[in-house]
């Protein structure tokens, strides 16, 4: 079969590799659609040991498709079924899993290899984090469950309630998913970005207000809209030291700062410790997702309660993937569907 393999930063290749055979409790999936992802672009540019592990490595982690064959012991899924799976599953027996911290599971292994004709789902993912999708849900839509589940996790972890004042720093795809997850909680957040076009999209999708960092200082703008106090909670969805600092500065006393955007390894952020201490701010990171959030994401996407219009800009074939990443490596705001059969 054809598969895109990652050999190092800015070095991915389309190769011929053997079709995997499912073993005990495993599922062989025929990929219907895989989605390009900002994390994959980050890995392409600079490497990502957490995501990819040892090299060369299979590449791509947002996908949906059809069951091609199943190993002994698989009873819930049959060949021909349309399914979507997460790119991980918890062990349910370690220190973190016992504390409902599945995303930090000591035995968590991230699955890659979506940019291929087939993908082998290991037993834990097949049993714990694979779901049937109905005929009315496109593979591309179902594959959005993975990134959306991360946003649902962040909103839940922050304890957002209806009536809270919330700001989101960022106007990309993950910021858009945060907006949708917040709307599901009855909150219409302030959205902070730079370019007019994505901010206009966020306004159309129901943002409470949009703020362009090119036109005014985001911290001053947020404080002016909240009687000088700052918001109850901020989600940082950019992953830069500058915006992490802004997030802390625009939060009210007693507020929460969800550091959702991952910074490059080794990034250091100066923090006003006096303000954090005496303002009693809560700062925390959020990583990955849990099975229940993935299932919730799929349900919301399948029922049409979440707008996906404009999230996927087009489709490419497997042979196009290396060139696509090279050309788009610095402008990866939109997703494309990778269709192995084209």
For the residues of 41-66, what is the DSSP string, one character each? Answer: HHHHHH--HHHH-SSSEE----EEEE
- Residue 11's pLDDT is what? 96
CA-to-CA dists, residue 58 to 47, 180, 316, angstroms: 13, 31, 18
Please say if the pLDDT value at position 333 is more than 80.
no
Question: DSSP character for 145?
Answer: H
**Scanning the structure block, which residue is given the tokens 């990955």?**
288
Mean pLDDT of 279-289: 97
Mean pLDDT of 20-34: 98
Q: Please measure the distance between the N-terminal and C-terminal CA atoms of the chain and give it in whole angstroms.
A: 14
Mean pLDDT of 252-264: 94
pLDDT in tens, 290-316: 999 999 999 999 998 888 988 998 999
Q: Where are the beta strands (DSSP E) in the chain?
A: 2-8, 11-16, 27-35, 57-58, 63-70, 82-85, 118-121, 130-132, 166-169, 190-193, 209-212, 231-236, 251-259, 282-285, 312-316, 335-338
Q: Which domains does the chain have, with CATH numbers?
A: 2-144+308-338 (3.90.180.10), 149-285 (3.40.50.720)
pLDDT in tens, 72-82: 999 999 999 99
Of the two residues 139 and 331, the one the predictor is more confident about is 139
Mean pLDDT of 85-97: 97
* Spatial distance between the Cα atoms of 207 and 201, rounded to a whole number of angstroms: 9
CA-to-CA dists, residue 69 to 30, 212, 299, angstroms: 9, 50, 25
pLDDT in tens, 196-249: 999 999 999 999 999 999 999 999 999 999 999 999 999 999 999 999 999 999
Please state, for a pLDDT cut of 70, what percent of the chain lies above it: 99
């Amino acid at each position: 079969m054809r598969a895109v393999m990652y050999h190092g930063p800015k070095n991915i290749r389309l190769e011929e590799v053997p079709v995997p055979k499912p073993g005990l409790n495993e599922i062989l999936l025929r990929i219907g659609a895989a989605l390009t992802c900002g994390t994959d672009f980050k890995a392409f540019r600079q490497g990502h040991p957490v995501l990819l592990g040892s090299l060369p490595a299979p590449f791509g982690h947002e996908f949906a498709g059809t069951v091609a064959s199943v190993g002994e012991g698989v009873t819930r899924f049959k060949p021909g079924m349309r399914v979507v799976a997460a790119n991980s599953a918890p062990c349910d027996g370690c220190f973190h899993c016992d504390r409902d911290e599945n995303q930090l599971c000591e035995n968590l292994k991230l699955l890659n290899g979506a940019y291929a004709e087939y993908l082998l789902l290991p037993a834990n993912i097949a049993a714990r984090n694979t779901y049937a999708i109905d005929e009315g849900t496109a593979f591309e839509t179902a594959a959005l469950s993975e990134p959306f589940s991360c946003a649902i996790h962040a909103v839940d972890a922050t304890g957002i309630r209806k009536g809270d004042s919330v700001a989101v720093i960022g106007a990309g795809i993950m910021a858009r998913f945060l907006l949708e997850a917040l709307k599901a909680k009855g909150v219409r957040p302030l959205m902070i970005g730079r370019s007019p076009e994505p901010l206009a999209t966020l306004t159309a999708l129901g943002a409470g207000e949009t703020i362009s960092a090119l036109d005014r200082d985001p911290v001053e703008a947020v404080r002016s809209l909240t009687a000088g106090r700052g918001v109850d909670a901020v989600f940082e969805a950019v992953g830069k030291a500058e915006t992490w600092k802004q997030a802390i500065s625009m939060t009210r006393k007693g507020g929460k700062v969800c550091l959702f955007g991952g910074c490059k390894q080794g990034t250091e952020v100066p923090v006003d410790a006096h303000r954090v201490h005496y303002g009693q701010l809560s700062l925390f990171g959020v990583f990955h997702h849990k099975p229940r959030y993935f299932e919730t994401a799929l349900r919301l996407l399948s029922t049409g309660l979440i707008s996906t219009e404009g999230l996927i800009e087009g489709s490419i074939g497997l042979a196009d993937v290396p060139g696509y990443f090279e050309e788009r490596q610095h402008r990866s705001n939109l997703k494309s569907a990778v269709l192995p059969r084209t």
